[in-house]
Amino acid sequence: MSGTLVLVRHGQSEWNLKNLFTGWRDPGLTEQGHAEAKSAGEKLKARGLKFDIAFTSALSRAQTTCQHILDALGQSDLETIRNAALNERDYGDLNGLNKDDARAKWGEEQVHIWRRSYDTPPPGGESLKDTGARVWPYYMHDMQPHVLSGGTVLVAAHGNSLRALIMALEGISGPDIVKLELGTGVPIVYKLNADSTVASKDVLA
């Protein structure tokens, strides 16, 4: 039996707009971010999708995105599980800093390594590998069973938690997954086979 897994990065946040490291901080969506999330819902509605359950992080930008999508589908009251396992990567000492200011303090090369290496964390924070270490078990135990039983599952989360999930789904290497860019509010629709492999992938840009 094949199930459907839909991944959506939250709409633009206030700190995305200001070029700040956000991590586990909790700014809301911008006006554009709200519009992106609503648009994601309309794109999924146009595909005739209905969800059986939704998962999101403990951060409001992802939760609001999730709610906009469900509202657009007429599923405002759908069971929605919120868990910090799906939170954005924790940037540690970089949280709240302007990315240009961080480059001025630590140097462009060092900040680039922290942002784009797979397993080098910033001071006091998580690498993408560390993020995966909490995302993967949560997916395996809490989300995947719904998909493999034929369900349609929505996940509204963050750039790095979704990168970790996509890495596992598609078998992408550490050096390659950090290059993957995920647009805000862009749904990615996966059909999974019964053995959990990907049958198809559709990006609704």
Q: Read off the pLDDT of residues 39-83 as tens digits, 9 standing for 90 and up.
A: 999 999 999 999 999 999 999 999 999 999 999 999 999 999 999
141 pLDDT higher than 90: yes
Q: Are 12 and 61 in contact (CB under 8 A)?
A: no
42 is an active site residue: no
Please indicate, yes or no, whether residues 98 and 158 belong to a single structural domain of this protein: no
Rounded Cα–Cα distance for residues 27 and 15 (Å): 7
Instruction: Tell me: is residue 82 an annotated ligand-binding position.
Output: no
Catalytic residue among 68, 88, 146, 158: 88
Candidates 106, 110, 115, 103; CA nearest to 22 is: 115
Please indicate, yes or no, whether residues 168 and 134 belong to a single structural domain of this protein: yes
Question: Residue 17: which pLDDT band, with cuts at 50, 70 and 90?
Answer: confident
Inside any domain, residue 99: yes
Rounded Cα–Cα distance for residues 64 and 38 (Å): 10
Instruction: Tell me: is residue 115 an annotated ligand-binding position.
Output: yes
Instruction: Tell me: is residue 83 an annotated ligand-binding position.
Output: no
* Structural domains counted in the chain: 2
Entry pTM = 0.95
10 is an active site residue: yes
**Secondary structure element (H or E) that encloses residue 99, with its range:** helix 99-106
Catalytic residue among 10, 68, 146, 158: 10
Inside any domain, residue 14: no
Range of the domain at 108: 91-125
202: three-class secondary structure by DSSP: strand
| Model pLDDT, residue 63 | 98
Please indicate, yes or no, whether residues 30 and 108 belong to a single structural domain of this protein: no
Please indicate, yes or no, whether residues 103 and 179 belong to a single structural domain of this protein: no
Q: For residue 24, give both structure tokens.
A: 């586990």
Please indicate, yes or no, whether residues 46 and 134 belong to a single structural domain of this protein: yes
Instruction: Tell me: is residue 39 an annotated ligand-binding position.
Output: no
